[in-house]
Amino acid sequence: MLVRLLYASRAASPLTPAVLDSILAQSRANNPRAGITGILCHSDDLFIQVLEGGRDVVCRLYNTIVRDSLHAEVCILSFEEIRERRFGGWTMGQVNIAKVNPTLLLKYSERAALDPFICSGQASMALLEELIATASVVSRGS
């Protein structure tokens, strides 16, 4: 059975390229084995990640991620059973929100800035789906 989980968190310290690279390297090493797909969207101080896959492996990975000291205030925005994947092309795609067209952010938020903590989970998910549709995901990951 497939599920899709979306969460947001705050980076423990301003995100550096080295930290981001290490997260993506771990994701790309581990996720294919577990059949997990998704994307990681980030700014200097925020993460939003969607994880898709079997319920047991997604929950297990989420529990690992929650305990990672690289971030805090991890908040589940949505969790649903799904019939099919929407992010199946990415072992862990990556989007730097600073590079996203502000008009797209404004479409789903009160201001042209990413703040998943005040948006509905539905709006954040719609934004991520539009990011993959508009090819804003910079790396496919496999």
Ligand X SMILES: Cc1cc2nc3c(=O)[nH]c(=O)nc-3n(C[C@H](O)[C@H](O)[C@H](O)COP(=O)(O)O)c2cc1C
Give yes or no for residue 7 binding ligand X (CB under 6 A).
no
Amino acid at 23: I
Beta bridge partners of 80: 4
Assign residue 73 a region (left: φ > 0; alpha: ψ between -120 and 50; beta: otherwise): left
Give yes or no for residue 44 binding ligand X (CB under 6 A).
no
Site for ligand X in 100-139 (CB under 6 A): none
Site for ligand X in 48-77 (CB under 6 A): 49, 61, 64-65, 68, 70-71
Beta bridge partners of 37: 52
* Tokens 């954040």, located at residue: 124
**Integer Rg of the chain from CA:** 14
Amino acid at 119: C
Site for ligand X in 12-41 (CB under 6 A): 23, 26-27, 30-31, 40
- Which residue in 3, 37, 47, 94 binds ligand X (CB under 6 A)? 47
Give the footprint of ligand X on this chain (CB under 6 A).
23, 26-27, 30-31, 40, 47, 49, 61, 64-65, 68, 70-71, 92
